[in-house]
Structure formats: C-alpha cells, structure tokens
Amino acid sequence: MTDAEIVKTICPLQTRERFIHSLNVAQMAKKLAERYGEDPKKAYTAGLIHDATKNISGEEQLALISSGGIELSELEKNSPKLWHAVSGSVFAVEKFGIADADVINAVRYHTTGRAGMSMLEKIIYVADFISAERDYEGVEDIRRTAFESLEKAVYIGADFTVKKLNSLSLPVHPDTQRARQFYKIYCKD
C-alpha cells in the first residue's frame, strides 16, 4: 500500500487534529531518519500509521488487539490510552499489509517506548513527542536534542512521561520505566 493510500484510509478515521499530528509525525520521522541513517520512506510510513486507530472506539481497538492474538497486561487493560499503539500495530498488518517487523514494532511501542529499541522505534517514539504542532514547555529543547542524540531524546521523553504519570497518580507502564532506565546512560556527561 502506498503512503497516499494510507493517507486516504486514515483521514476519515481520525479527527482533523489527529490527522495533522500524524502528518507532522511522518514529516519529523523522515527528517530524523535522514539524520540517523534510517530509511526515510519506512520512517515516513510508520509515522503516518502510528496513531491510525487512536480515534476508533475502544471496542474496535480491543477487537483488533484480539484478532492479532495479543493479550493485554492488567495495566494495559485498565489504560485505554495505551490501546491505540497495540491495535495500531495489528491494523498496520491487517489493513495495510505491513510485514516489516520494525515498522510494526515502531507503531506498537511509540507510546510506551521500551529498552533496546531499534533505530526506527526510537525515531517514531521521539517524532511523536516533537512533531510540529507540539507546544508544551520544553519541546524546543527536546527537538534540538533529538538531532544531537536520539537516545538522549528518548530518555527525556520517557522521563517526562514517568514524571507526568506520577504527578497524576497514574501507573507507569513497565516498558516506559525500562526505557527510562536503559537510555539514562546517554544523559551522563
């Protein structure tokens, strides 16, 4: 499936804001891929589809997850905001015919991250944090860091997530905790 066909498929599934975000993540992913020697086409495609299922119903997301043979952990079952990454990875296979495990994993782990991510996984994880429409405090620092050290940007993103969830008294996914610990070494001077 071409990127143009993917765009035609995801556009009606997403809110206008989510669709713009998906386009922005794809563009940022392409730039990061060019910077770090990853395939820009693959990065662009993964960026387009990373949030493909974010705006579909919870029931549809759970059905996709089930059809993909994935069993959610208890934390994941109780955290609907995490479902779109898992359901999106199944959607990538079932709807778009994606067979590249790296693209599938980049979609699957773009929200939680994980220790030892591939280059493409790191690119999509970071691109999601720093896409053009993002305007939270500190985003410019993370954008700059992303082009200096992708691993340091992953750590900053994971650390940001852990601190935010802790401040809201929400559980932190173990993959995010492991990513934060794994990439912390890149922040030592």
What would the pLDDT profile of 30-71 be if each residue is shown by its tens digit?
A: 999 999 999 999 999 999 999 999 999 999 999 999 999 999
Whichever domain contains 54, its CATH number is: 1.10.3210.10
Q: Using CA atoms, how far apart are residues 57 and 142, in angstroms rounded to an integer?
A: 32
Would you say the C-alpha torsion 146, 114, 24, 141 has a positive or negative sign? negative
Q: Look up residue 29 and give its two tokens.
A: 């992913």
> Could you tell me if 32 and 43 are in contact, meaning their C-beta atoms sit under 8 angstroms apart?
yes
> Could you tell me if 179 and 112 are in contact, meaning their C-beta atoms sit under 8 angstroms apart?
yes
Q: Kindly state whether residue 117 falls inside one of the protein's structural domains.
A: yes
Q: Kindly state whether residue 127 falls inside one of the protein's structural domains.
A: yes
Q: Kindly state whether residue 16 falls inside one of the protein's structural domains.
A: yes
Query: Where do we find the tokens 């556009």?
Result: 11
pLDDT above 60: residue 7? yes
pLDDT above 60: residue 183? yes
Q: Kindly state whether residue 187 falls inside one of the protein's structural domains.
A: no
Percent of the chain's residues with pLDDT above 70: 99
What would the pLDDT profile of 128-140 be if each residue is shown by its tens digit?
A: 999 999 999 889 9
Q: Kindly state whether residue 163 falls inside one of the protein's structural domains.
A: no
Q: Averaged over 176-187, what is the pLDDT?
A: 93
Q: Where in the sequence is the domain holding 20, given as residue range(s)?
A: 3-134
Q: Kindly state whether residue 45 falls inside one of the protein's structural domains.
A: yes
| pLDDT at residue 133, as a whole number | 96
Given its phi and psi angles, is residue 37 left (phi above 0), alpha (psi -120 to 50 degrees) or beta?
left
Q: Kindly state whether residue 44 falls inside one of the protein's structural domains.
A: yes
pLDDT above 90: residue 189? no
Count of the separate structural domains present in the chain:
1
